[in-house]
Amino acid sequence: MVDEKIVRVRIAPSPTGYLHVGTARTALFNYLFARGNKGDFLLRVEDTDIKRSREEMVKSIIEGLSWMNLDWEGDILYQSDYFDDYKKRGMELLEKGYAYWCYCLPEEIDDRKETIFKSGKGWIYDRRCYHLTDEERKRFEEEGRPKALRFNVPQGFTSYDDLIHGKIQRDNSQIEDFVLIKSDGSPTYNLAVVVDDYRMGITHVLRGDDHITNTPKQILLYNAFGWSFPEFGHIPLILGEDHSKLSKRHGAVSLSYYKNEGILPEAFVNYLAFLGWSPKTEEEIFSLEELIERFSLDSIQIKPAIFDIERLEWLNGAWMAKLGREEVASRLSEYLYNNGISERDKDYLIKVIEALGKRIKKFKDFLVRGYYFFSDDFSYDEEGAKKHFDKGLEEKMKKLIKQLKELANFDENGLENVIRNLAEELNCKASELIHPIRLGISGVTVGPGIFALMGILGKKRVIKRLESLVEYLKGADFEY
Ligand code: GLU
């Protein structure tokens, strides 16, 4: 436990995209750290970029965090509610001499940048407007030139002890006079984040390594405001399997995708925890409560984490086993319902889960591999039909239907007897009946054992589907 200090952390997503796996992982680490230290976990929506922020994304953030069961304290803070305040804070820095107006037009900066690049040097803003004379400034104001407020970075060094990386020091001469208020009046990320972390009483800022270069800038701002700064910890980035930063190129990176695929939130949370953290043992399955107990910042790794979908699916399977059939059946029922299928018979669902067994890695697989368990509305696999449907089949199926109607015990044994006896009677191999039956009642050529499958689907459904098959065969053209 972090001693004495009250822990207050936050997750601060920008609603310019759907909740990203990386943000979800950062949220989880903050949540675990807060809960493990009896602290607060807060949510702030960083929607200062009005043009790119979308209500739909805010919804996706809220839904995603709720799905993972990461509950936050109090109201959500929306940065768009505080525009006037950021401006006021900017003006405060201007008055104290920590900031100045910059009238440089983007194209002017581009020209100067190019000259610097040509000379083989790197560009940081050349402080031209810091050196303006009063007269020049007056002229720009009269011209109505757009202006941005820049921070006047002092000379010296900025250092802090990163909770994960240890001591970090930067030479301020490498930090450009960054913008605080843009020419459209909106605040930049660095200004808003400092003002709000202070406003919200944040004690620890845990965020992705991609923000590590922002931290010295933010510390300089805290100093300018005369505020003490929180502790900072930067967690390793998540990379794709090719070791480049995880992005859409690697497949789905939004949380909603995994939810829609039917990954259990427990498995997802368990998986995310391992993206940068390790229990330092061989244990692999952790509930949120167990993670709270075990999580600590000193077991966060420095090296980047690799996103591995197979491991996520493996963990999902392990969680399905851990939750047990009853619970999985009721979650499956809910998942199916959200996908337009109403199936509330729990016993039936349990049988389906057992029958598909290891073929299932996530709930979506029930739709992909076992759609026929929930709907009569399927077509026959084309290749399979070519292979297994022929002219003589109609009569065979009619006989089968007749016998099935008379079968009292519609179970695995009873069904096996009927089909094997019928094969004998028709003087054909049992497989010559089994393949077309499977195709007829499921539309596909692979699946659970046929007698078990028929038993699970039940008499009514099997007969109805075989009758549809007979209808189909009547109209089929067996030229092939
Ligand atoms: N809105 C920033 C992001 O999504 C927050 C970074 C921070 O935690 O300071 O990356």
Read off the pLDDT of residues 327-366 as tens digits, 9 standing for 90 and up: 999 999 999 999 999 999 999 999 999 999 988 999 999 9
| pLDDT 10s digits, 226-284 | 999 999 999 999 999 889 888 888 877 899 999 999 999 999 999 999 999 999 999 99
Going from the Cα of 205 to the center of ligand 1, the distance in angstroms, rounded, reads 10
Closest by alpha carbon to 143, among 184, 102, 103? 103
What is the chain's percent helix, strand, coil content, to nearest 5? 55, 10, 35
> Is the Cβ–Cβ distance between 407 and 451 less than 8 Å?
no
> For the chain, what is the largest distance between any 2 Cα atoms, rounded to a whole number of angstroms?
108
| pLDDT 10s digits, 174-187 | 999 999 999 999 99
Alpha carbons 66 and 328: distance in angstroms, whole number: 19
Percent pLDDT > 90 in the chain is 94
pTM exceeding the 0.75 threshold for the entire prediction = yes
CA 353 vs CA 32, 65, 317, 356, 465: distances in Å: 33, 28, 12, 5, 21
Alpha carbons 36 and 7: distance in angstroms, whole number: 10
Give the mean model confidence (pLDDT) for residues 157-183: 98
**Residues with a known catalytic role:** 248
| Residue with CA nearest ligand 1 atom 6 | 12
Helix or strand holding residue 238 (H, E): strand 238-239
Q: Is 211 in the pocket of ligand 1 (CB under 6 A)?
A: yes
Atom of ligand 1 nearest to the CA of 207: 8
With the most atoms of ligand 1 within 8 angstroms of its CB, the residue from 9, 11, 14, 253 to mutate is 14
Going from the Cα of 122 to the center of ligand 1, the distance in angstroms, rounded, reads 26
360, exposed or middle or buried, with CB in 10 Å at 0-12, 13-18, 19+? buried
Joined together, the tokens standing for residue 189 give 């990320």
Note the pLDDT of residue 3: 56
Residue type, 18: Y
DSSP 46: -
Q: Is 129 in the pocket of ligand 1 (CB under 6 A)?
A: no
Note the pLDDT of residue 253: 87
Note the pLDDT of residue 319: 97
Note the pLDDT of residue 1: 59
Q: Is 418 in the pocket of ligand 1 (CB under 6 A)?
A: no
Q: Check pLDDT > 60 for residue 193.
A: yes
What average pLDDT is seen over the chain? 96
The per-residue b/e assignment along 142-151, b for 16 or more CB within 10 angstroms, e otherwise, is: eeeeebbbbb
Closest by alpha carbon to 57, among 259, 256, 237, 206? 256
Going from the Cα of 29 to the center of ligand 1, the distance in angstroms, rounded, reads 14
Note the pLDDT of residue 16: 94
Confidence of residue 4 (pLDDT cuts 50, 70, 90): low
DSSP 44: E
Q: Check pLDDT > 60 for residue 377.
A: yes
Q: Is 204 in the pocket of ligand 1 (CB under 6 A)?
A: no
Q: Is 440 in the pocket of ligand 1 (CB under 6 A)?
A: no
CA angle 214, 109, 106 (to 5 degrees): 85
Q: Check pLDDT > 70 for residue 57.
A: yes
Q: Is 13 in the pocket of ligand 1 (CB under 6 A)?
A: yes
Beta-bridge mates of residue 306: 239
Note the pLDDT of residue 358: 87
Alpha carbons 248 and 260: distance in angstroms, whole number: 17
| pLDDT 10s digits, 116-131 | 999 999 999 999 999 9
Going from the Cα of 200 to the center of ligand 1, the distance in angstroms, rounded, reads 15
Joined together, the tokens standing for residue 296 give 């600590």
Confidence of residue 62 (pLDDT cuts 50, 70, 90): very high
| pLDDT 10s digits, 284-296 | 999 999 999 999 9
> How many CB atoms lie under 10 A from the CB of residue 61?
24
CA 139 vs CA 11, 103, 129, 149, 193: distances in Å: 44, 11, 13, 17, 33
Confidence of residue 203 (pLDDT cuts 50, 70, 90): very high
DSSP per-residue codes, 405-462: HH-S--SHHHHHHHHHHHHHHHTS-HHHHHHHHHHHHHSSS--S-HHHHHHHH-HHHH
Q: Check pLDDT > 90 for residue 75.
A: yes
